[in-house]
Amino acid sequence: DYRDPHCKNKQVIVHLFEWKWSDVADECERFLGKKQFCGVQVSPPNEHVVVTQPMRPWWERYQPVSYKLHSRGGTEAEFKDMVTRCKNVGVRVYVDSVVNHMAGLGRIGTGTAGSHFNSSDYDFPGVPYTRPNFNTRDKCPSGGGGVDNYSDPKNVRNCFLVGLTDLDQSKEYVRDKIAEFFDHCIDLGVAGFRIDASKHMWPDDVKAIQDRVKDLPEGGRPFFYHEVIDQNDGAVRVNEYYDLGYVTEFRYCQKIAYGVHNFGEFNNMYVPSWGMADPSHAFVFVDNHDNQRGHGGGGNLITHKTPRDYKMAVAFTLAYNYGFTRVMSSYYFENTDAGPPHNADYSAKDVTINADGSCGNGWVCEHRWNPVANMVVFRNAVAGTDIKHWRNENDEISFARGQKGFFAMAKQGHMDRNLQTGLPAGEYCDLVSDCMKKITVDGSGNAHIVIDNSAEPMLAFIVDGPT
Ligand code: LM2
Ligand code: CA
């Protein structure tokens, strides 16, 4: 089974999008460990192209040049130091892995680790890959050679996605090179992988690769989650990948946006008839690095640009019991191509921390917002429990998680009710406000729940939590 994230039953990972390795390491030590995060998804750590038109976009990292671990994020030594320091505080690293393809057709030059490459000749000596390692036109049923028909799996998987040179994962040599890359990461302490563009690879090929990857040094199979954008709009469906780990559930991004905009929709978050992944395979998030900027489908979704809605969306996601959760941590952008905040030489700027705990230098750090960070503790505490005492009316939602926690949220920012919590009698305090609010549960499980406009529009408390 590829669904164990190897983080001692913690439940939430954060994508520190485009952070450099030294900053990720610092964040593990100063924040993520204490806040009980399971781990971090890091941007692709392997050698990639250097794009100068536009100047150093974020997406240059989705055009690999080799599997040498030297990227815009840092050197291999820095990567190794990060993985070790994070692991030492109980936070695992998950590598965003781009193995469907190499650089885009027509790109020629030197990658971030110094390897020469020539995509037009299918020549990537840093691996090495040559022409026979790539898909050929006879396997791709599209007129122009590019992916252009999502109703045909052969087109989706054997053609070139936005002109990116498409590897042929049915070849033993290609499988070996990709597995070697994963093994190298595992040797350095990595616990798992996000597989980019899994939809564009055959599940049998992906399985052959995963099955030859080594166990973690501490035992067990690495964690895998697959990027499969299935919005009921094509031939490739998420359930084809269930044997391979978790699958991204992009319909949840729409669902949570509907819910925040109209609380009534919260009654209907997981819709099997839409083909949504079952709760034990769904990998869920409010937004990701693509759809927050209109790439990879985009659509109607909520991002940090509307902070109040975003906090409600993430808080609900972490309180609810659907799927394995990832939270996004972004940088501010106007241009959808723009890479991370950068210095004059285009290296990523340091992530600075302000006195109030927010980030500086252009980093958003949604994962540090109280309704995000503190709900991680909630989700860990209630893992494995069912939803009880569901109430959704009057733009107010509240529910218990088994007999371990209780969550309430008010769209209009105010709520004042006596509610059954199902929890043992006692004094509790609200995690979201860092215990600024207290809640008393009486002998019959009832509590007076108050939300008012002076604070965040939600509260949450757990058995055996802070008091
Ligand atoms: C993904 N998942 O399946 C990533 O999450 C997504 O961010 C990647 O696209 C995509 N797959 C390929 O890894 C991004 C970005 C694209 C960008 C590619 C490659 O969304 O816009 O394409 O990375 O860097 C860019 C140009 C595109 C050009 C292509 C090839 O935007 O116009 O196509 O490079 O040179 C001619
Ligand atoms: Ca492919």
Q: What is the DSSP string of 100-119?
A: SEEEETT-EEE-TTS-EEEG
Q: Per the omega criterion (within 30 degrees of 0), is the bond before 222 cis?
A: no
At 76 the pLDDT is: 98
CA angle, 120 then 49 then 101, to 5°: 60
Task: Round to the nearest angstrom and report the end-to-end CA distance of the chain.
Answer: 38
Q: What are the beta bridge partners of residue 310?
A: none
Q: Is the CB of 290 under 6 A from ligand 1?
A: yes
Res 296: pLDDT: 80
Strands (E), 86-178: 92-97, 101-104, 108-110, 116-118, 164-166
Q: Rounded to the nearest whole angstrom, what is the distance from the C-alpha of residue 432 to the centroid of ligand 1?
A: 37
> Ligand 1: which residue has its CA nearest to atom 12?
62
Ligand number nearest to the C-alpha of 336:
1
The answer to whether residues 71 and 77 touch, using CB atoms and an 8 Å cutoff, is: no
Model pLDDT, residue 227 = 98
- How far apart CA 324 and CA 279 sit, in angstroms, is 8
What lies within 8 Å, CB to CB, of 368 at 6+ separation is: 31, 357, 358, 359
DSSP per residue over 172-198, as a string?
A: HHHHHHHHHHHHHHHHTT--EEEETTG
| DSSP secondary structure letter of residue 359 | B
Q: Is 59 in the pocket of ligand 1 (CB under 6 A)?
A: yes
Q: At what angle do helices 251-261 and 307-319 cross, to 10 degrees?
A: 110
Pick the closest to residue 32 from 12, 17, 18 (CA basis): 12
Residue partners of 88: CB distance under 8 A and separation at least 6:
none
Residues tagged active-site: 196, 227
For the CA of 60, the nearest atom of ligand 1: 24
* Ligand 1 and 227: CB distance under 6 A: yes
**Pocket mutation for ligand 1, best pick of 71, 162, 291 (most atoms within 8 Å of C-beta):** 162
Alpha carbons within 13 angstroms on the beta-carbon side of residue 329 total 27
Q: Tens of pLDDT along the chain (467 residues)?
A: 999 999 999 999 999 999 999 999 999 999 999 999 999 999 999 999 999 999 999 999 999 999 999 999 999 999 999 999 999 999 999 999 999 999 999 999 999 999 999 999 999 999 999 999 999 999 999 999 999 999 999 999 999 999 999 999 999 999 999 999 999 999 999 999 999 999 999 999 999 999 999 999 999 999 999 999 999 989 999 999 999 999 999 999 999 999 999 999 999 999 999 999 999 999 999 999 999 999 987 678 999 999 999 999 999 999 999 999 999 999 999 999 999 999 999 999 999 999 999 999 999 999 999 999 999 999 999 999 999 999 999 999 999 999 999 999 999 999 999 999 999 999 999 999 999 999 999 999 999 999 998 899 999 999 999 98
Give, as residue ranges, everything with CB less than 5 Å from ion ligand 2.
Answer: 100, 157, 166, 200
ipTM value for the complex: 0.97
Nearest-atom number in ligand 1 for the CA of 49 is: 24
- Euclidean distance between CA atoms 428 and 467, whole angstroms: 6
- Rounded Cα distance between 467 and 462, Å, is 10
Q: Does any ligand 1 atom lie closer than 6 A to the CB of residue 295?
A: yes
Ligand 1 within 6 A of 63 CB?
yes
- With CA atoms as reference, report the closest residue to 349 among 338, 336, 362, 334: 362
Residues 17-36 pLDDT 10s: 999 999 999 999 999 999 99
Predicted local distance difference test score (pLDDT) of residue 298: 65
Beta bridge partners of 427: 440
Task: Kindly report whether the global pTM for this prediction surpasses the value 0.95.
Answer: yes
- Any idea which residue has 């406009």 for tokens? 453
Q: How many of the other CB atoms lie within 10 Å of CB of 345?
A: 6
Q: Answer whether 148's CB lies under 8 Å from 156's CB.
A: no
Report the pLDDT value the prediction gives residue 299, as an integer from 0 to 100. Answer: 74
Round to whole Å and give the CA distance between 137 and 148.
Answer: 14
In short, whether 99's Cβ falls inside 6 Å of ligand 1 is: no
How far does the centroid of ligand 2 lie from the alpha carbon of residue 249, in Å? 20
Q: Report how far apart, in Å, the C-alpha atoms of 20 and of each of 57, 182, 194 are.
A: 15, 20, 18
Residue closest via CA to ligand 1's atom 30 equals: 104
Task: Tell me if 164 CB under 6 Å of ligand 1.
Answer: yes
**Identity of the residue numbered 39:** G
The answer to whether the beta carbons of residues 147 and 155 sit under 8 Å apart is yes
Is residue 354 within 8 Å of residue 360, measured between CB atoms?
Answer: yes
Q: What pLDDT does 454 receive?
A: 87
Taking the C-alpha atoms of residue 363 and residue 304, their distance in angstroms, rounded to an integer, is 11
| Sign of the dihedral through C-alpha 101, 86, 18, 249 | positive
